Chain A
Amino acid sequence: MDTATQRKWDKASRTLDLFAFAEDRRLGPHKRRLFSKMSGATLMVAAGTGNDFKFFPPSMNVVAIDISPKMLERAALKAATYTGSIELREMDVCALEFAGATFDTVVTACTFCSVPKPIVGLRELRRVLKPNGQILMFEHVRSAIGPLGILMDLMTPLVSRFGPDLNRDTVGNVQKAGFRLRRVENVYLDVVKIIEAVKEA
């Protein structure tokens, strides 16, 4: 277990929900639209405080993991109000305890900005997905717009001390991990994206 990452997100769990008010109203409809494509056995990576559970379609069976036990404590309260079933487990995405080909769908929401070894994590997700399984991601990435991209590079060393990296190439990382891109959509500028990919049989 990556204890440094765990400690960072344990601390962040205290303030994460402060940002939920506006994020839910501005980005929530996009998350709901993405998560409506969930099907079959589903794994959510980095459940956080469980703020995104409300965007899941009703009556799903979801296993939600997070590296931070403090996040999971808060997520448990929200999981209890969900109409389907959400099983919470403390786990590092880079070392998943599931057998290969377990899940039909993997969902993430602002996750791979924070995983220290994103390609290792994505390869693990590919391993636990069934052939033709899908990964549905709501992620923020480095902007390709010159001035914004430079700013994100400059701010990352500071922000990553207590939060995410701002300059990840998650679309590229998904491809490097062996997935085939099915759909990529810009949600805000070219920074917030919906990424859908599949594990080809």
Chain B
Amino acid sequence: MSTLIRRLQIAGRRNWTMLFTIGDYLAGMLISVATALVVRALVWPGMDMVIAMLIGMAVGMVLHFVLGLVLSALLGMFETMMPGSLIGMYGGMLFGMRDSMAAGSATLGATALVGAVFGAIVVLGVKIYDRTLRGPVVDAAG
């Protein structure tokens, strides 16, 4: 009986881990798509690139903060906010730069797709970096 309970507990933990992982990617993609679309709406080709990048950064920071706060309740504060902040701030700047140069996607769908890909790549990068950093950094007890 105790073995069965232990197996069920392990299976439950695995399911939550998988759901949270999927959720992390979806959250990152959502924040990134929203940032890409709003920046595209605000930045026009020929806009001063510095202004465009500042607008992109501000939009990304506000969006990641609002969306991240809501999604944090489902996915965890740190796991949502850390990649979300990178996507919002740095993604917003990149999208702003791109749109000011008229080098952006031709359609809204393509903009959203690029946003989603960018978000997924940042989440993946953060997950890989997390794996490499996790564990003891000081262990005086031996």
Query: What is A's interface to B at a CB cutoff of 8 Å?
Result: 18-19, 21-23, 25-27, 140, 145, 147-148, 151, 154-155, 158, 180-192, 196
Evaluate contact between B136 and A22: CB separation under 8 angstroms: no
Neighbour of B89 across the interface among A25, A140, A151, A180, CB < 8 A:
A151
Complex-state Cα separation, A19 to B73, whole angstroms: 4
Complex-state Cα separation, A189 to B24, whole angstroms: 15
Indicate the size class of the contact surface on chain B. Answer: 20 to 34
Type the 1/0 row for B37-56, where 1 means its CB is closer than 8 Å to any CB of A. 00000000000000000000
CB distance from B133 to the nearest CB of A (A): 5
Evaluate contact between B76 and A26: CB separation under 8 angstroms: yes
- Residue pairs across A and B with CB atoms within 8 Å: the count is 81
Those 9 A-B pairs whose CB atoms lie nearest each other, nearest first: A184-B138, A22-B76, A26-B76, A185-B136, A151-B85, A186-B133, A184-B137, A18-B73, A188-B78
Evaluate contact between B73 and A21: CB separation under 8 angstroms: yes
Complex-state Cα separation, A92 to B12, whole angstroms: 39
CB distance from B141 to the nearest CB of A (A): 5
Interface CB pairs A-B, < 8 A, 14:
A19-B72, A19-B73, A22-B72, A26-B20, A140-B78, A182-B140, A183-B140, A184-B137, A185-B135, A185-B136, A186-B137, A190-B137, A191-B82, A196-B141
